[in-house]
Amino acid sequence: MVDELPQTKADLDARFTELYRAHLRDVYSYSYYRVGNHHDAEDLTEQTFLQAYRHFERALRESDGRPLRPWLIRIAHNLAANFYRDRSRKPQSAIEDAGMISTPHTTESLVEGREELKTILDSVQQLPDDRREALIMRFALGMDNREIARALGRTDGATKVLLHRAVRQLEGIVSQTVAEDAEEDR
């Protein structure tokens, strides 16, 4: 696909702008699901696209016409891992934030099913990193198995098994949580 490679810097910038517009929401969504807050997700999204821009021409050459969304999500994945590693080395004074995050909404107008959604989202956080990320990519971003495999650096078969196990484990966690909640209500 050499004929599709940009010939000038302006062409390269135009192609990157298309990529940015097409995948900004996906990269932000992935980052948000990984870090759980708007400001850090914005920072990770910005870092993802800065890093992508630095390597964009090479990625176009090596992609051989394949979509670049898995490549972008892989960059976001690596940056999120660095984010958590750096944060664990330099603990933040997040005690005040912890109360805000864990405080359930008590507003009467919450939609029906809010508790079920909260249970599922809390349960997703209990999954191992690779399973949680695979579910985020699949259900929050709508990525197919092949895209997820490329983003995680796995084979298609290993990704299919990973997703299957993630869903089964999530079902088990949710069932256990629901049973525990029902027991507490008695």
Q: What's the rounded Cα separation, in Å, for the pair 169 and 63?
A: 34
- Residues above pLDDT 90, as percent of the chain: 38
**pTM for this prediction:** 0.63
Domains belonging to the chain, first-starting first, are 1-93 (1.10.1740), 114-186 (1.10.10.10)
Which amino acid, 69?
Answer: R
pLDDT for 76 equals: 94
pLDDT for 5 equals: 80
In the DSSP assignment, the letter for residue 7 is: S
pLDDT for 90 equals: 58
Output the average pLDDT for the chain: 82
Least confident of 60-74, 111-125, 149-163: 111-125
Neighbours of 32 (CB within 10 A): 18
Residue pair 48/27 in contact by the 8 Å Cβ criterion: yes
pLDDT classification of 113: cutoffs 50, 70, 90: low
Residue pair 120/174 in contact by the 8 Å Cβ criterion: yes
Residue pair 137/147 in contact by the 8 Å Cβ criterion: yes
> pLDDT tens-digit profile of 3-34?
468 888 898 899 999 999 999 999 999 999 88
